[in-house]
Chains A and B, each alone.
Chain A
Amino acid sequence: MAHTEAEVLSGLAEIVNEETGLAPEAVEPSKSFTDDLDIDSISMMTIVVNAEKKFSVKIPDDDVKDLVTVQDAVDYIVKAQQA
């Protein structure tokens, strides 16, 4: 079952919360993972792997660096679900 954009955003916020302790509301679409949310690339990998499991998608290593903002990640996951 494909998740809607809103579901992906809230699911991603939960994953970020679990990894970093950040409040889910703080995970806004416009925020940059590194600059605004202070997530380093190692935590980012953990978030990516957990998102792969949650949304049943594949996010190859080389694509991870393109996921700059939360919206980038949401778009990527929504698109990958359709693939």
Chain B
Amino acid sequence: MPTLQTPAPNRFSRIAGIGGYRAEHAVPNADLVGPIDSSDEWIRQRTGIVTRHRAGEDVAVLDMCEEAAVEAIANAGLKPEDIGAVLIATVTFGTPTPSAASALTTRLGTGPVPAWDISAACAGYCYAIAQADGLVRSGTLDNILVIGVEKLSDFIDPTDRTISFLLGDGAGAVVVTSSDTPGIARSVWGSKGENWETIRMTNSFLDLRDDRETPFPTLRQDGPSVFRWAVWDMAEVAKEALEAAGIESKDLAAFVPHQANMRIIDELAKQLKLPDSVVVARDIADNGNTSAASIPLATERLLRENPELHGGLALQIGFGAGLVYAAQVIVLP
């Protein structure tokens, strides 16, 4: 029997370009506190959030994707026709099928390339990077457009005190290309299905079909439990990701955790004993929690504000509903 031919050249992957879409409306805490009997001070103290950005009714998930993608593709020095696949991490597209990714191919004018969405909530972007890394290194695909996008404002309840006031809208995009040198280290990823309901929807769309009185599904969470998992369990995952990359925290130029809560970010940085030389992404204060979009958006901002970080090492870690998580060390584009 002949041995099968496989593409598998010995090659690496890297992130080649980045782009972001920040939603237009800055929503201060004061605009949200009424229906939840909260205060600006309470929200700032517990979460570090000052504003979150939300998109208007006329801006859809695909519009946000398109803006971020066009910027990322240009930033990578590529054209839409060079894109080899489109991979979108989102939980707010609203249409279970067909995917946001396949719609985006025609909007962007890529070829008829593989296109699919993945559902891993706030870990979605890092999940997508893990997939893109494997597919590029194996020689299966090249120039994969990876997008994290959410329009969370479509799935919030203004009277909910558990999560809605944290959330914003946005999109971040990168292109994962082949590389002569390693640009994405092995991902450390997993799930904790026993906590399936720790971050959840109030009900399913099928409940809505069966009973029209059922309210539209919106998000809820057990905040203190999420906090505990996000800090102490994720600190271990982050350490594993450093080990998988064969580096130590002092080798990092930047730390880009999912932007969920400033207290989580600060406590994670403390647990990891990051030296002062490591720049920590703190986009959360202005931008709120944008789920799958938060890491690429925070990275885009870090690079804009700290150009010396280009080419440095960053540890990124996403974690969220599932519960699911993924972390990897990357070379910043």
Asked if A41 lies at the interface with its beta carbon under 8 angstroms from chain B, I say yes
| Residue of B whose beta carbon sits closest to that of A64 | B224
Q: A40-B46, A42-B46 are in contact. Are A61 and B224 (CB under 8 A)?
A: yes
Q: Is the interface of A mostly helix, strand, loop or mixed?
A: helix
Interface size range of chain A in the complex: 10 to 19
Name B219-237 residues within 8 Å CB distance of A.
Answer: 222-225, 227-228, 231-232
Asked if A45 lies at the interface with its beta carbon under 8 angstroms from chain B, I say yes
The answer to whether A49 touches B46 (Cβ under 8 A) is: no
The answer to whether A42 touches B232 (Cβ under 8 A) is: no
Asked if B310 lies at the interface with its beta carbon under 8 angstroms from chain A, I say no
Asked if B263 lies at the interface with its beta carbon under 8 angstroms from chain A, I say yes
Name A40-58 residues within 8 Å CB distance of B.
Answer: 40-42, 44-46, 48-49
Q: Which of chain B's residues have a CB closer than 8 A to the CB of A49?
A: 228, 231-232
The answer to whether B46 touches A45 (Cβ under 8 A) is: no
A33 to chain B, nearest CB (A): 13
Q: A40-B45, A40-B46, A46-B267 are in contact. Are A61 and B225 (CB under 8 A)?
A: yes
Known: A42-B227, A61-B224. 16 other contacts (CB 8 A): A40-B45, A40-B46, A41-B224, A42-B224, A44-B224, A45-B224, A45-B227, A45-B231, A46-B231, A46-B267, A48-B228, A49-B228, A49-B231, A61-B222, A61-B225, A61-B228
Interface residues, chain A, CB within 8 Å of chain B? 40-42, 44-46, 48-49, 61, 64
A-B contact pairs, 12 of them (CB 8 A): A40-B45, A41-B223, A41-B224, A42-B227, A45-B227, A45-B231, A46-B267, A48-B228, A49-B232, A61-B224, A61-B225, A61-B228
